[in-house]
């Protein structure tokens, strides 16, 4: 019989999962060639603005396969609704049985993306940080901050957002994170003061146009061909450009935009799984500029769905 789990059970199970380690496994399994991931399915909406992503796949030799639907509708907060939603379907790989429906309302996607950002910070962020820059003040920016606390020692944050009311609400939600949070009057303040910058917006135009030496950027928001948060020149100047998938970065994300602009070649892009596994070097010194372009891959969904399902099953 198919089990159906709702958000309360899912949140409780997550409290006992090392999600950062799960994301590291997800990246390594992908880069080892163990994952079978069809192209991303997506629907893009313009009035109101939003997108729906369908990601699915399996890891060879694993017990399960996963189909995930996740949406982002960016005017929803003005309606009193969450901007993200969705669910995950967990199937048995040997028989095709639908084992569980995880009605996570998009929370698992938010969490696995944030944990991926923390995994990236472990291998690419400078060791000495005075301030962390957060561009955007939505749900993902909040989750990034919560998981970064497990990856870096710095507890000072500078955040930028377009809407003052949204910024104030974000700071209230993040008051329990243990970070000292300040508001940047402009993005240039983050570029000047922060050597670890996380961008979390659905922008269709570059927000960052340059960075200082020794900066790492984790770009989260550009997960469709239309979105872009970084000027291509930033990637061209970087010492390391890392992606979750070299295949996927050719059709979406910051690398896609830089390739299309002709400022870099695919041969200069490495996969995070190879860095985490030790096959490619991560940050070598605090003067390097590094960029991680995360467009999201289904191995992340496989790992978090399995961990939550097995955690709930163990409790029951």
Compute the distance between CA of residue 63 and CA of residue 294 in angstroms, rounded to an integer: 26
In three-state form (DSSP H/G/I as H, E/B as E, the rest C), the secondary structure along the chain is CCEEEEHHHHHHHHCCCCHHHHHHHHHHHHHCCCEECCCCEEEEEECCEEEEEEEEEEECCCCEEEEEEEEEECCHHHHCCCCEEEEEEEEECCCCCEEEEEECCCHHHHHHHHHHHHHHHHHHCCCCCCCEEEECCCHHHHHHHHHHCCCCCCCEEEEECCCHHHHHHHHHHCCCCCCEEEECCCHHHHHHHCCEEEECCCCCCCCECCCCCCCEEEECCCCCCCCCCECHHHHHHCCEEEECCCCHHHCCHHHHHHHHHCCCCHHHEEEHHHHHCCCCCCCCCCCCCEEEECCCCHHHHHHHHHHHHHHHHHHC
Catalytically annotated residue among 55, 68, 127, 227: 68
Q: Is 227 considered catalytic here?
A: no
- Residues acting as catalytic residues: 68
């Amino acid at each position: 019989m198919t089990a159906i789990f709702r958000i309360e059970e899912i949140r409780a199970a997550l409290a006992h999962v090392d999600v950062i380690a799960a994301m590291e496994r997800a990246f390594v399994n992908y880069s080892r060639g163990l994952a079978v991931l069809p192209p991303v399915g997506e629907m893009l909406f313009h009035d109101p603005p939003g997108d729906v992503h369908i990601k699915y796949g399996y890891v060879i030799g694993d017990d399960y396969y996963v189909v995930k639907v996740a949406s982002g509708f960016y005017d929803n907060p003005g309606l009193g609704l969450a901007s993200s939603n969705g669910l995950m379907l967990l199937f048995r790989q040997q028989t095709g049985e639908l084992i569980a429906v995880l009605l996570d309302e998009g929370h698992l996607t938010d969490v696995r993306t944030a944990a991926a950002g923390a995994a990236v910070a472990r291998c690419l962020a400078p060791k000495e940080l005075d301030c962390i820059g957060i561009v955007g003040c939505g749900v993902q920016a909040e989750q990034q901050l919560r998981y970064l606390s497990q990856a870096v020692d710095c507890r000072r944050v500078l955040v930028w957002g377009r809407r003052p009311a949204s910024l104030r609400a974000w700071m209230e939600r993040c008051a329990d994170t243990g970070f000292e949070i300040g508001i940047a009057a402009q993005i240039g303040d983050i570029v000047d003061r922060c050597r670890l910058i996380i961008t979390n917006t659905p922008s269709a135009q570059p927000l960052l146009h340059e960075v200082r030496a020794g900066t790492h950027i984790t770009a989260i928001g550009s997960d469709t061909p239309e979105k872009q948060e970084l000027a291509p020149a930033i990637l061209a100047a970087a010492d390391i450009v890392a992606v979750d998938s070299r295949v996927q970065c050719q059709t979406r994300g910051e690398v896609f935009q830089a390739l299309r602009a002709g400022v870099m070649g695919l041969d200069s892009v490495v996969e995070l799984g190879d860095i985490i596994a030790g096959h490619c070097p991560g940050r070598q010194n605090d003067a390097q500029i590094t960029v991680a372009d995360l467009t999201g891959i289904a191995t992340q969904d496989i790992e978090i769905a399995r961990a939550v399902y097995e955690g709930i099953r163990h409790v029951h």
